[in-house]
Amino acid sequence: MTHAPRYSQVLLAVWRQRDLSSPWGRRVIAALLVLSAVAGLIWLPREAAWRVPLVELIVVVLGLWMAVAANLLEQNHPTAARTVPGHARTLKRAALLGWALCTVLFTLLAWALMPATGLWPVLLLCSGFLSAFLLWTTRLVWLWLLTILVSPLSLAFGASLAPARRALAALWESHTYEVLLACLLFQAWLVVRAFADGGARHQARYATQALMRRSMQMQLEGKAPAMNAWAPFEPLTRPFVRILSAWLRHVLDRADNTRLRSVMARAEIVLHGQQHWLRYVLTIGVIAAAVVMLFTVVLTTTGVSLALVLKHGGVGMGIGIASAGLNPGFTTPNMLWQSRREQALLQLLPGMPQGRALNVALARLHWRDFIAGWLLTTLLLVALGVAIGNQLLLCLSLAALPIAALTLTRRPALMRAPTAMIMVAPSFLFLALAGLLYVLARDLGVPLWLNGLVTLAVSAPLLAWRWRRLAAAPTALPAGRLA
Amino acid sequence: MTSPHFPHTETPSAELHGVSLAYPKGDLVLKGLDWQLLPGQVVGLLGRNGAGKTTLLEALLGLREPQAGTVQLFGQDAQLLDDATRARIGYVPQHSDLFEGFTPAQLLAYFRSFYPRWNEAKVEGLLSRWDIARDKPIRKLSGGQKQRLSIIRALAHEPDLLVLDEPVASLDPAGRRDFLRELVGEVLDRGATVVFSTHILSDLERVAFNLAFMSEGRIALQAPLDDLLEQVRAFTGTVTEMATLMTRLNAQPLKRTPLEAGRERVLARLPAAATVPVGVAVDRVNLDDLFAELT
């Protein structure tokens, strides 16, 4: 019996299991790659132009390998590993084949970019290591953290490790091919070790990873998973759970059905679910604390000045701040899709507004969160702008206004199931518009105040029209019932 | 009973000896459990929620490693099965383990590539009869359809040992009937060993020829269903009367329940053809009673 069909089955699974509901992400990435290659050929000098498609090919090869590796690991189900004949063995061999192909392709492409004589053994070694590392990062996401720690660690331990490094370099010089072969064999062993043959530990790990995969898939589809869904980090979320419980008790203790604010505060806990403002504030707070800590560690260990970091990374930081502060606001209405079963019950509760009043109350909830996020983000951008001497970062705040006017005034009764495309499109639009405003101000000399005026002139009537339309729409809840 | 794939043999399909298993930081779930499944046996595994049925079935398949005891499938260590033995096993887990990004057609083609035999006609027939869309992503199928697909996958390679963990939990009555018919019509005719856990006792009465009652980490009793219904009786009387009666009938007491005023109720299995003396308070028992008393 030939085993070719089973290899084609496991290797093609990544393509067969692709998300058919939102193909646009893949198409956009493909279009961007083609466009940048064409643009490079047109505008870059001839000696540099041919490198663009080569670099893109490297990115594609590595990206494809990561997708295949992640899928192979997903196929490594403990039950199948134990009960399906040859399943785990086939996966290991397929992974080895993929790793070898990726290594060879990456080496050839890198060699084409840097055709220095005698460099190929180093390229082969590095590309083999990179391919194995990428496979393992799909199993252990935290390995990516190592890349951040490499610089401070090498500074901290560089001196004490220098003799070992020199000895390795000497060994490489004297026995290049033997060392290369040994390293490649070790990398191949690492690839095989990523797969397991069933058993209790494999089951526990697979269950954790399945939970993580589901959480990530839910996020892509706009369904914020519960905090404890991030299984490995569950103990870290316990303080969050206590704070959220305290807030719930606070709201319930002050329940008053004659006050719209009280009614909507209770409804909001269900309607915004995992994207409730308190959860969002807690999450952002933790991320901000982690970033500050990381910066402190890196700056103190490397001796790099903050001014230098701000000078070179200020714009990137601005985009990061704006993404964290504004993007979640664009997607809040999608949360209504997740609680639509509970919404029928909510509708029956005493004090719950109906019809137009409900539509408006719900939109106000979305806008309250967005405006709070927008004000805080704008303040941070102004502060960052002052620090780096570039107030054009405010283009980010301006660009958010028309996007919010569009996304926060959708009619909930007519909404459809959120897809990955629906989730990321506002962010793409937001960044594209911000980029346009930035280029207008920086390269064409359009004053920032004029940019702001035009943005407001577009956003205000758009919001007024959409708000009237939303208020007159069928009762918002249950969401999606008329789609 | 013989089949081309499974010549008649008295070698047990599965054999567990002194199996003890605990979860990390948990109590023992299986406590020195002994169990044997013979070729052609259809065993319904009964037990209360949390009794350890799923753990037992997972240990049986080598998915859990016991801290003590041995588990053998077709004479091989369950942890070290070769490919030929794996090809003889079919498993429907309690929770779907289907790769949900596939369509049913893709999933079945995927698994077909691993098995040396595959009954395509049966697969096609079941997909049609059970009305499962071949080209719809599995994640979009209902819970019942996923369960049916899982059953089709487990039956497709015509296993000699079929392990089903609550296979009908997500099925409606019509689906359950179809499944049981399939089990009887296809699997039993080939002389396969079938073990399945369920809480739906009426289903057991249709297909399970043997019942295994699980309690306190062990198989408390395993016997043919007809024998149990025919031979198990509930007696009521004083403790002394009961002791005398059990000795006289050579009966095997299964459970004693103390009552008021020095009386007790004894659930006992009588030897075949034993006759209960006139005047003794005795009740027949049904499957519900057996489940309530023995688990």
The average confidence (pLDDT) of chain A is 86
pLDDT tier for residue A64 given thresholds of 50, 70 and 90: very high
In chain B, residues with a C-beta closer than 8 Å to the C-beta of A83 are: 61, 86, 89, 91
Least confident of A71-75, A86-90, A196-200, B84-88: A196-200
In chain A, residues with a C-beta closer than 8 Å to the C-beta of B87 are: 85
Mean pLDDT for A431-442 is 90
The residues, ordered by sequence, that sit 6+ positions from A471 with a Cβ below 8 Å of its Cβ are A356, A359, A360, A363
Backbone phi, psi, residue B57, to 5°: -65, -35
**B114–A13 C-beta distance less than 8 A:** no
The dihedral sign for the CA sequence A243, A249, A251, A254: negative
The dihedral sign for the CA sequence A281, A209, B146, B172: negative
Query: Are the CB atoms for B60 and B45 separated by under 8 Å?
Result: no
For residue B252, the model assigns a pLDDT of 85
B111 closest CA partner among B127, B128, B99: B99
In chain A, residues with a C-beta closer than 8 Å to the C-beta of B109 are: 9
Six-digit token string for B280: 């003794």
B189, pLDDT greater than 90: no
The residues, ordered by sequence, that sit 6+ positions from A335 with a Cβ below 8 Å of its Cβ are A222, A224, A271, A272, A273, A274, A275
Cite the beta strand spans of chain B per DSSP E.
Answer: 14-22, 28-37, 42-46, 68-73, 76-77, 89-92, 161-165, 193-197, 210-215, 218-224, 232-238, 252-258, 263-269, 281-284
In chain B, residues with a C-beta closer than 8 Å to the C-beta of A203 are: 63-64
The residues, ordered by sequence, that sit 6+ positions from B13 with a Cβ below 8 Å of its Cβ are B37, B38, B39, B41, B73, B74, B160, B161, B193
Mean pLDDT for A404-413 is 91
**B84–A9 C-beta distance less than 8 A:** no
B245, pLDDT greater than 70: yes
- Minimal Cα–Cα distance from B23 to chain A, Å? 9
**A82–B86 C-beta distance less than 8 A:** yes
* Single-letter residue type at B193: T
Side-by-side strand order, sheet with B232-238: B252-258, B263-269, B232-238, B281-284
B40, pLDDT greater than 90: no
A275, pLDDT greater than 90: no
Least confident of A357-371, A437-451, B151-165: A437-451
DSSP state of A227: G
* Single-letter residue type at A207: A
Query: Are the CB atoms for A16 and A75 separated by under 8 Å?
Result: no
For residue A117, the model assigns a pLDDT of 64
Mean pLDDT for A51-71 is 91
CA distances from A356 to A295, A414, A470 (A): 49, 15, 8
Write the residue in B63, B86, B110 that is nearest to A203 by C-beta. B63
DSSP state of B271: P
A232, pLDDT greater than 60: no
In chain A, residues with a C-beta closer than 8 Å to the C-beta of B118 are: none
For residue B30, the model assigns a pLDDT of 93
The residues, ordered by sequence, that sit 6+ positions from A323 with a Cβ below 8 Å of its Cβ are A427, A431
pLDDT tier for residue B6 given thresholds of 50, 70 and 90: very low
Q: Closest chain A residue to B90 measured between Cα atoms?
A: A83
- Minimal Cα–Cα distance from B239 to chain A, Å? 47
Instruction: Please report how the helices A355-388 and A277-302 are oriented relative to each other, as an axis angle in degrees rounded to 10.
Output: 10
B251, pLDDT greater than 90: no
B186, pLDDT greater than 60: yes
DSSP string, B105-152: HHHHHHHHTT-S---HHHHHHHHHHTT--TTS-GGGS-HHHHHHHHHH
Interface contact B86, partner A, CB < 8 A: yes
pLDDT digits (tens, 9 = 90+) for A280-332: 899 889 888 988 888 888 788 777 778 888 877 888 888 999 988 998 888 88
Strand partners, B235: B266, B282
A195 closest CA partner among A143, A132, A142: A132
Query: Are the CB atoms for B57 and B33 separated by under 8 Å?
Result: no
For residue A231, the model assigns a pLDDT of 53
For residue A378, the model assigns a pLDDT of 94
For residue B2, the model assigns a pLDDT of 42
Pairing of strands B89-92, B161-165: parallel
For residue B7, the model assigns a pLDDT of 43
Interface test with A, best of B64, B76, B110 (most A CBs within 10 A): B110
Run of H or E including A364? helix A355-388
pLDDT digits (tens, 9 = 90+) for B124-170: 999 998 889 998 989 889 888 898 999 999 999 999 999 999 888 77
- Minimal Cα–Cα distance from A427 to chain B, Å? 26
Mean pLDDT for A114-123 is 79
- No. of helices (H) and no. of strands (E), chain A: 20, 0
d(CA B293, CA B232): 11
A472 closest CA partner among A464, A480, A461: A464
pTM of the model: 0.72
Interface of A with B (CB under 8 A): 1, 5-6, 8-10, 13, 16-20, 74-75, 77-80, 82-87, 90, 198-200, 203
d(CA A391, CA A419): 35
Q: Closest chain A residue to B24 measured between Cα atoms?
A: A200
For residue A77, the model assigns a pLDDT of 93
The average confidence (pLDDT) of chain B is 86
Query: Are the CB atoms for B196 and B45 separated by under 8 Å?
Result: yes
How many other C-beta atoms can be found within 10 angstroms of the C-beta atom of residue B240? 9
For residue A151, the model assigns a pLDDT of 67
- Minimal Cα–Cα distance from A13 to chain B, Å? 8
A119, pLDDT greater than 60: yes
Interface contact B65, partner A, CB < 8 A: yes
Least confident of A160-164, A169-173, A358-362, B43-47: A160-164
Mean pLDDT for A53-75 is 92
CB pairs under 8 A between A and B: 67
Interface contact B62, partner A, CB < 8 A: yes
Highest mean pLDDT among A31-40, A140-149, A352-361: A352-361
**A83–B61 C-beta distance less than 8 A:** yes
Six-digit token string for A376: 């805080």
**B65–A199 C-beta distance less than 8 A:** yes
A338, pLDDT greater than 50: yes
**Helix boundaries (H) for A272-354:** 277-302, 306-331, 335-338, 340-348
Query: Are the CB atoms for B127 and B116 separated by under 8 Å?
Result: no
Mean pLDDT for A408-420 is 86
For residue A46, the model assigns a pLDDT of 78
A177, pLDDT greater than 80: yes
Query: Are the CB atoms for B190 and B158 separated by under 8 Å?
Result: yes
Interface contact B159, partner A, CB < 8 A: no
pLDDT tier for residue A91 given thresholds of 50, 70 and 90: very high
- Minimal Cα–Cα distance from B221 to chain A, Å? 28
Q: Closest chain B residue to A6 measured between Cα atoms?
A: B113
B209, pLDDT greater than 80: no
Mean pLDDT for A465-470 is 94
Whether residue A478 is preceded by a cis peptide bond, meaning omega within 30 degrees of 0, is: yes
Write the residue in A6, A20, A85 that is nearest to B87 by C-beta. A85
In chain A, residues with a C-beta closer than 8 Å to the C-beta of B136 are: none
d(CA A269, CA A283): 16
For residue B1, the model assigns a pLDDT of 42
Q: How far is CA A459 from the centre of its chain?
A: 28
- Minimal Cα–Cα distance from A346 to chain B, Å? 26
Q: Which residue has the tokens 């004589």?
A: A117
CA angle A250, A252, A254 (to 5 degrees): 75
DSSP string, B179-193: HHHHIIIIIGGGT-E
